[in-house]
C-alpha cells in the first residue's frame, strides 16, 4: 500500500439470485487500497472481479460484509448518497468506451462537470486540460463515430479524469484495443496516476494491462487467490 | 443541462424525429377533426337557425307554449314597432319578421276543379321589400341555391314550393295554386298564388311540404296586418353563441317585462330553447373535449411504446449517466423535460398542418349532396370546417400531455431497474 487506505473491504460477500437458488460471486473478500495505487483485479470470467469493481463503485451493494470507499460504507449509502459519491469522487472507464454517440468529444468530457457546480468557463478549462492529458485537443468537435477505438478510449479516460476524482475504476479498458493503442492508453493512465495521485483499480485478464500494474490481485471463484506487489 | 438535452434531441433523429412525427400526426388530426366537427355542427346549427329557429326569436308567451302547433291566433301584434324597438335595443342583431303557419295547398285543373291537395308547412318571409329582400331573407335561407325550376318570387302573389311537393301536386311554375288556411281570428281563408318556382333543400323535413311566400302576401292571406308569429334575430357574427344568446335574453327580460297574466306578452327564445337544438349545441361544445380525450389516450399509448423502445435503445446512455453520478430521478426528470420539448415541437408542427387542412376544408368544403339525399335532419349538403381560436391551442393538450404521459410510463421501467442491472445492460 502506497498511502493511507481509501478503500477497506472486509469479509465481503455478494450473492445473486439464480433460478430458484443463488449464485455467490464474492465469498468473503478482504482488501485495502491506498491513495495513488495502480492496482488490478485479475482473474478469468466469473471470478468476481467486475462484481467487486461495481461494489467499490457504489453501483451495487454487498450482501454481507463491508466495503468502505473514501470513508463511506457502501451498504449504508442511500441511492442519493451513492450518486453523490460517484459524481464527486469516482471515475469509470469501460471496455466499450460508452461515449454518448451524438455528442462531441468536448461535450462527452464535459458531461460529468454538468452534474457539478462549475461555471461555463471553469468547465471549458477543465475539459481542455483533460483533453490535453490524453492528447486529443485537436478532436474537440469530433463525434465518437469519427474516432478510432484508441481515441474513443482516450476520450473515456479524459471523461473519467476531468473532475480529478480520487478513484478511477476501469473494467477491461483495453479489451477492444490493439497492442499499440493499449500501451498508449495504459501509459496515459500511468502518467495521470503519477501526476495527479489518482488511484486506479482495473478489472482485467489482459496481459498487456497486467504488465503495467503495480499491484496485482488474483481472484479465483470469488476469493482472493494471490497478491503481488511490483516495485516500479 | 437543458442545452445538453436539447443538443441530444436535435442530433439524435431517432429520439426526436419519430416522436415529433407521431405527435404532429396526432395533433394535426385533433386540430383538423375539431375544426371539421365544429364546422359540421355549426353549419347544421346555422342551417336550422336560418331556416327556422333564428339565433334568438321573440314570440308571444302563449305561442312559445304551443310552438309546435304554429298557432297564428297567438301571433305578435304591432310587429313593426316591436321590431323597431328591438333594433334599437340590440343594434348588432338583424331582426326579421316571419310567419310560420300551416295550411292546405289546393291545385286546380283546367276547369277550376280540385286536381290535387296536400298539407303544407308555410313560411312567410320578407322576399320583396328593398333592401332586405333578395339580399336578406332569400339569401339567408339559401333559396337561390336551392332553386330547381322556375324562379324566386319577384312580385306580389307569387310563391315557391318544395320540388317534391310540387311533383306530388302535379303543378309547374306558372300554375295557379290556392292556400286554404285560417286567419289569425279563426276564420277560414283562401288565397290564390302563382307558383314562381320550386326548391329542393336536400333534407326531407324541408322538402316534404314546404311553401315559402312573401310575408305581406301571407299577412293578406291570414289577415295578419302588422302581425307576425315571430321576430327572428340573427347575430352579427353569423354564428350562434350560447353566451351571447343568454346575455341578450337577460337584457330583453329587463326591457320587456313579462307579466304573468299577459299571454300575448313578448318572450324571447334562444336557439337552444327550441326543439332538440339545446342538446345539439351542447353536443357540439363537448365534441372538442371528446376528440381531445380520444387522441390524448391513443397518442399516450403509442408514445408509451415509442418511449419504451427509445428507452431500451438508450439504456447505455442512462447507465453511463448513472455511473457518472447522475441520480435516477434526475435521469427520469430529464426524460420528462425531453418529452415536453418533443411535445411542444410536435404540437407546433401538428397544429400548423392541421390548421392548413382545416383552412382548405373551410375554404373549399366537401360536397356530400348525393349521399345525403333523403336525410331527415336539416344538415348542410356542403360540409365545411370552421377554424375557431380553440383550434390554435387545442392540439397542445393531447400533444404535450400524451408525450409526457408516454415518457413517464416508459421511464418507470427504467426507474425501477436497479443501477447495477442497468449497468450490466450497458455493458451487454
The secondary structure of B217-236, three-state, reads HHHHHHCCCCEECEEEEEEC
A69 vs B328, more confident = A69
Three-state secondary structure call for residue B91: coil
Q: Would the pLDDT of B428 be above 60? A: no
B63 and B160 in a single domain? The answer is yes
A114: Cβ contacts below 8 Å, ≥ 6 apart: A123, B1, B4
Strand partners, B233: B56, B95
Please report which confidence band the pLDDT of residue A30 belongs to, taking 50, 70 and 90 as the band edges.
very high
Provide the pLDDT for residue A2: 47
Question: What distance in Å separates the CA atoms of residue B148 and residue B151, rounded to the nearest whole number?
Answer: 8
- Both B286 and B326 in one domain: the answer is yes
B383 domain-assigned: yes
Q: Distance of CA B354 to CAs A20, A223, B300, B399, Å?
A: 56, 66, 19, 13
- Please state, as a whole number, how many other Cβ atoms lie within 10 Å of the Cβ of residue B172: 13
Q: Higher model confidence: residue A55 or residue A45?
A: A55
Alpha-carbon distance B332 to nearest alpha carbon in chain A (angstroms): 14
Asked whether the predicted pLDDT for residue B107 surpasses 50, the reply is yes
Least Cα distance to A214 among A200, A201, A198, A232 occurs for: A232
For residues A107 and B307, which has the higher predicted lDDT (pLDDT)? A107
The per-residue pLDDT for B253 is 85
Q: Do both B118 and B20 map to the same domain?
A: no
Q: Which residues of A touch B11 (CB under 8 A)?
A: 102-103
> Is residue B146 very low, low, confident or very high in pLDDT (cuts 50, 70, 90)?
confident
Looking at the fold, whether B94 and B217 belong to one and the same domain comes out as yes
The pLDDT value given to residue B377: 52
Q: Are residues B323 and B360 in the same domain?
A: yes
pLDDT at B221: 92
**Residue where a domain stops, chosen among B237, B268, B297:** B237
Contacts of A100 in chain B (CB under 8 A): 8, 317, 320
Tally: H helices and E strands in chain B: 15, 14
Spell out the domains of chain A, with CATH numbers in brackets: 37-59+84-227 (3.40.50.300)
Same domain, yes or no: B61 and B33: no
**Under 8 Å between Cβ of B375 and B202:** yes
Per the structure, how many domains does chain B have? Answer: 2
Question: Is the CB of A166 inside 8 Å of chain B's CB atoms?
Answer: no
All residues of chain B having their beta carbon less than 8 Å from the beta carbon of residue A92 are: 320, 323-324
Residue B105 domain-assigned (yes or no): yes
Answer for the pair B398, B27: CB distance below 8 angstroms, yes or no. yes
- Beta carbons of B160 and B214 less than 8 angstroms apart: no
Q: How far apart (Å, rounded) are the C-alpha atoms in residues B279 and A16?
A: 64
Give CA–CA dist A155/A138, Å, rounded.
12
Which residue bears the cell 341555391? B145
User: What is the spatial distance between Cα B31 and Cα A137, in angstroms, rounded to a whole number?
Assistant: 50
Q: Domain range holding B32?
A: 2-47+280-427
**Angle at CA B289, nearest 5°, toward B287 and B295?**
100
B199 and B285 housed in the same domain: no
B261 part of a folded domain = no
Of the two residues B260 and B248, the one the predictor is more confident about is: B248
Asked if B423 lies within 8 A of A102 by C-beta distance, the reply is no
pLDDT band at B375 (very low <50, low <70, confident <90, very high): low
Long-range own/partner contacts, residues B116-121 (CB < 8 A, 24 or more apart)? B116/B168, B116/B169, B116/B170, B116/B171, B117/B169, B118/B165, B118/B168, B118/B169, B118/B209, B119/B209, B120/B161, B120/B165, B120/B179, B120/B209, B120/B210, B120/B211, B121/B70, B121/B208, B121/B209, B121/B210, B121/B211
**B408 vs B194, higher pLDDT:** B194
- pLDDT (0 to 100) of residue A1: 46
| CB spacing of A83 vs B420 below 8 angstroms | no
Q: Which of B204, B221, B237 is the last residue of a domain?
A: B237
A48 close to A222: Cβ distance less than 8 angstroms? yes
Residue A62, chain B, CB below 8 Å: the answer is no
- Is residue B101 domain-shared with residue B230, that is, in the same domain? yes
Among A206-220, B155-169, B321-335, the minimum mean pLDDT is found in B321-335
- Radius of gyration, CA atoms only, chain B: 31
| A94 in contact with chain B, both atoms CB, cutoff 8 A | yes
Q: List b or e across B189-213, with b for residues whose CB sees 16 or more CB atoms inside 10 angstroms.
A: bebebbbbbbbbbbbeebbbbbbbb
Cell of A131: 483533453
Residue B96 contacts residue B56 (beta carbons within 8 Å): no
B218 lies in the same domain as B100: yes
Q: DSSP 3-state assignment of B51?
A: helix
- Best of B319, B324, B414, B416 to disrupt the A interface by mutation (most A CBs within 10 Å)? B324
Q: What is the DSSP letter of B194?
A: E
User: Distance (Å, rounded) from C-alpha B386 to C-alpha B380?
Assistant: 14
Does residue B89 form part of some domain? Answer: yes
Please say whether the beta carbons of B159 and B167 come within 8 A.
no
Distance, CA of A32 to CA of A9 (rounded, Å): 6
B175 and B132, same domain (yes or no) = yes
Please tell me whether residues B92 and B202 are part of one structural domain: yes
Closest residue of chain A to B7, computed from CA coordinates:
A103
> Cβ separation of A111 and B327 shorter than 8 Å?
no
Give the C-alpha separation, B338 to B331, whole Å.
11
Most confident of B233-237, B268-272, B353-357: B353-357
Residue at a domain's end among B202, B219, B237: B237
B30 domain residue, yes or no: yes
Q: Which tens digit of pLDDT belongs to each residue from B3-30? A: 888 888 888 888 888 888 888 988 898 8
pLDDT reading at B348 higher than 70: yes
pLDDT of residue A200: 94
pLDDT number for residue B301: 79
Subunit contact B420:A85, Cβ cutoff 8 A: no
Is the pLDDT at B134 greater than 90? The verdict is: no
Whether residue B173 lies inside any domain: the answer is yes
Shared domain for B219 and B300, answered yes or no, is no
The answer as to whether B252 is a domain residue is no
Q: How far is B325 from chain A (nearest CA, A)?
A: 4
Cβ within 8 Å, pair A111-B12 = no
**Cell 331582426 belongs to residue:** B95
Residue of chain A whose Cα is closest to the Cα of B426: A98
Residue with the bigger pLDDT between B299 and B223: it is: B223
In a domain, B395, yes or no: yes
C-alpha cell read off for B166 = 310540387
Amino acid at each position: 500500500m502506497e498511502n493511507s487506505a481509501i478503500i477497506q473491504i472486509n469479509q465481503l460477500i455478494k450473492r445473486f439470485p439464480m433460478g430458484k437458488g443463488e449464485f455467490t460471486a464474492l465469498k468473503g473478500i478482504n482488501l485495502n487500497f491506498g491513495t495513488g495505487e495502480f492496482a488490478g483485479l485479475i482473474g478469468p470470467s466469473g471470478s468476481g472481479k467486475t462484481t467487486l469493481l461495481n461494489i467499490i463503485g457504489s453501483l451495487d451493494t454487498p450482501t454481507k460484509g463491508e466495503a468502505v470507499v473514501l470513508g463511506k460504507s457502501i451498504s449504508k449509502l442511500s441511492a442519493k448518497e451513492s450518486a453523490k459519491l460517484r459524481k464527486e469522487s469516482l471515475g469509470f472507464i469501460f471496455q466499450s468506451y460508452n461515449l454518448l454517440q451524438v455528442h462531441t468529444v468536448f461535450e462527452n468530457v464535459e458531461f460529468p462537470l454538468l452534474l457539478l457546480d462549475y461555471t461555463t468557463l471553469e468547465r471549458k478549462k477543465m475539459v481542455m486540460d483533460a483533453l490535453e492529458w490524453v492528447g486529443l485537443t485537436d478532436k474537440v468537435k469530433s463525434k465518437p463515430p469519427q474516432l478510432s477505438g484508441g481515441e474513443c478510449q482516450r476520450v473515456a479516460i479524459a471523461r473519467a479524469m476531468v473532475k480529478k476524482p480520487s478513484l478511477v475504476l476501469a473494467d477491461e479498458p483495453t479489451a477492444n484495443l490493439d497492442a499499440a493503442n493499449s500501451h498508449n492508453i495504459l501509459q496515459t493512465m500511468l502518467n495521470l496516476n503519477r501526476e495527479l495521485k489518482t488511484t486506479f483499480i482495473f478489472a482485467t485478464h489482459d496481459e498487456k494491462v497486467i504488465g503495467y500494474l503495480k499491484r496485482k490481485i488474483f481472484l479465483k471463484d470469488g476469493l482472493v487467490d494471490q497478491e503481488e506487489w511490483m516495485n516500479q | 443541462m437543458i442545452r445538453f438535452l436539447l443538443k441530444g434531441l436535435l442530433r439524435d433523429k431517432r429520439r426526436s424525429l419519430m416522436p415529433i412525427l407521431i405527435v404532429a400526426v396526432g395533433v394535426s388530426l385533433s386540430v383538423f377533426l375539431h375544426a371539421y366537427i365544429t364546422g359540421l355542427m355549426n353549419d347544421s346549427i346555422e342551417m336550422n337557425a336560418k331556416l327556422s329557429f333564428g339565433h334568438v326569436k321573440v314570440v308571444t308567451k302563449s305561442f312559445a307554449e304551443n310552438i309546435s302547433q304554429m298557432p297564428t291566433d297567438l301571433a305578435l301584434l304591432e310587429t313593426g314597432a316591436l321590431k323597431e324597438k328591438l333594433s334599437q335595443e340590440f343594434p348588432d342583431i338583424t331582426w326579421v319578421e316571419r310567419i310560420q303557419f300551416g295550411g292546405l295547398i289546393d291545385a286546380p285543373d283546367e276547369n277550376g276543379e280540385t286536381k290535387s291537395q296536400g298539407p303544407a308547412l308555410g313560411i312567410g318571409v320578407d322576399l320583396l321589400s328593398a333592401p332586405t329582400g333578395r339580399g336578406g331573407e332569400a339569401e339567408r335561407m339559401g333559396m337561390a341555391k336551392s332553386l330547381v325550376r322556375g324562379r324566386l318570387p319577384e312580385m306580389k302573389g307569387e310563391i315557391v314550393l318544395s320540388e317534391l311537393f310540387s311533383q306530388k301536386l302535379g303543378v309547374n311554375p306558372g300554375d295557379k295554386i290556392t292556400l286554404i288556411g285560417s286567419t289569425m281570428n279563426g276564420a277560414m281563408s283562401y288565397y290564390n298564388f302563382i307558383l314562381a318556382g320550386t326548391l329542393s333543400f336536400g333534407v326531407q323535413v324541408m322538402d316534404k311540404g314546404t311553401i315559402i311566400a312573401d310575408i305581406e302576401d301571407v299577412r293578406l292571406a291570414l289577415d295578419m296586418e302588422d302581425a307576425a308569429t315571430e321576430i327572428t334575430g340573427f347575430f352579427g357574427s353569423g354564428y350562434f353563441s350560447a353566451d351571447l344568446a343568454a346575455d341578450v335574453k337577460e337584457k330583453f327580460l329587463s326591457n320587456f317585462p313579462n307579466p304573468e297574466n299577459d299571454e300575448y306578452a313578448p318572450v324571447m327564445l334562444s336557439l337552444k330553447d327550441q326543439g332538440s337544438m339545446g342538446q345539439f349545441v351542447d353536443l357540439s361544445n363537448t365534441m372538442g373535449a371528446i376528440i381531445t380525450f380520444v387522441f390524448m389516450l391513443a397518442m399516450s399509448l403509442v408514445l408509451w411504446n415509442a418511449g419504451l423502445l427509445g428507452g431500451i435503445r438508450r439504456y447505455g446512455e442512462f447507465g453511463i449517466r448513472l455511473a457518472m453520478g447522475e441520480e435516477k430521478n434526475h435521469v427520469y426528470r430529464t426524460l420528462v423535460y425531453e418529452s415536453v420539448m418533443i411535445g411542444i415541437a410536435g404540437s407546433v408542427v401538428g397544429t400548423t398542418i392541421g390548421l392548413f387542412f382545416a383552412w382548405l376544408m373551410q375554404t373549399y368544403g366537401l360536397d356530400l349532396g348525393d349521399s345525403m339525399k333523403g336525410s331527415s335532419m336539416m344538415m348542410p349538403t356542403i360540409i365545411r370546417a370552421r377554424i375557431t381560436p380553440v383550434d390554435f391551442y387545442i392540439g397542445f393538450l393531447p400533444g404535450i400531455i400524451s408525450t409526457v404521459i408516454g415518457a413517464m410510463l416508459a421511464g418507470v421501467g427504467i426507474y425501477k431497474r436497479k443501477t447495477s442491472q442497468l449497468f450490466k445492460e450497458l455493458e451487454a
